[in-house]
Amino acid sequence: MKDVQKVQPSEAQFYQGIIYNPWIVKPIWGLLTDVVPIFGYRRWPYFIFAGSMGVISMLLLLFHEKLHLAFAILSLTGGGAGVAVADVTTDACVAQNSINHPSLASDVQSLCALSSSIGAIVGFSGVYGLLAIPAGLVFLVGTLLNEPHSPNFAYTQVRQNFIDARKSMWTTLKCPDVWRPC
């Protein structure tokens, strides 16, 4: 960023902090994917949203080399938000599949780690066009995800669902086994 946008390293570090804000609020994304279904679905709309945001953000950076600093930061933040939402939605799918298929839980975790590593290698290439490819794949996953539709979701219960989720997290945090190494 400092080379393309011609900012000082201290400024670049400040902007980097802004860009990572979507990762700071990752628990909120997780609560949303667990508690608030969109159009009766809990996962695929979030994948579609994350993939769209990532593709648009990275292609904007790819095709506009002289992008104003504010738009560059907004685009990078949008790309980060797309990755953060996709990451937490993937974690939710892994948790759900680990519950449904306990014998495959470790294999699913390994596959996620491998996929994350491949994504990190592609990400370090520094080419925004290549970074649009993983976001496009997230969008594709959202379109191909086989998820049961629940059209009669009581949106009036969202507040209570958040309260229940908070209580469940608090119960988990109070459990001493959670804080011990494996």
Encode pLDDT of 23-57 as tens digits. 899 888 888 888 888 888 888 888 888 888 888 88
Q: How many domains does the chain have?
A: 1
Asked if residue 107 belongs to a domain, the reply is yes
Per-residue pLDDT band for 173 (boundaries 50, 70, 90) equals confident
pLDDT value, residue 3: 56
By residue range, what is the domain housing residue 81?
A: 9-149
Q: Which residues of 59-93 are buried (b: 16+ CB within 10 A; e: fewer)?
A: bbbeeeeebeeeebbbbbbbbbbbbbbbbbbbebb
Is residue 159's pLDDT more than 80?
Answer: yes
Average pLDDT over all residues of the chain: 81
The predicted pLDDT at position 77 comes to 92
Structural domain includes residue 121: yes
What pLDDT is attached to residue 91? 85
Residue 127 has pLDDT above 60, yes or no: no
Residue 163 lies in a domain: no
Q: Position 174: which residue type? A: K
Model confidence band, residue 12 (pLDDT cutoffs 50, 70, 90): confident
Domain assignment of residue 111, yes or no: yes
Question: Is 70 exceeded by the pLDDT of residue 124?
Answer: no
* Res 144 pLDDT > 60: yes
CA distances from 156 to 18, 66, 161 (A): 33, 46, 10
Is 116 within the bounds of a domain? yes
* 142 has a pLDDT exceeding 80: no
Q: What DSSP line would sit under the chain, residue for residue?
A: -TTTTT--HHHHHHHHHHHTHHHHTHHHHHHHHHH--BTTBSSHHHHHHHHHHHHHHHHHHHH-TT--HHHHHHHHHHHHHHHHHHHHHHHHHHHHHHHH-GGGHHHHHHHHHHHHHHHHHHHTT--HHHHHHHHHHHHHHHHH------TT--GGGHHHHHHHHHHHHHHHHH-GGGGS--
Q: Give per-residue pLDDT as tens, 60-114.
A: 888 877 778 888 889 989 988 988 898 888 888 888 888 888 888 888 888 877 8
Distance CA 102, CA 106 (A): 8
Domain membership flag for residue 77: yes
Let me know if residue 173 belongs to a domain. no
Predicted confidence at residue 122, as pLDDT, reads: 64
Q: Is 165 part of any domain? A: no
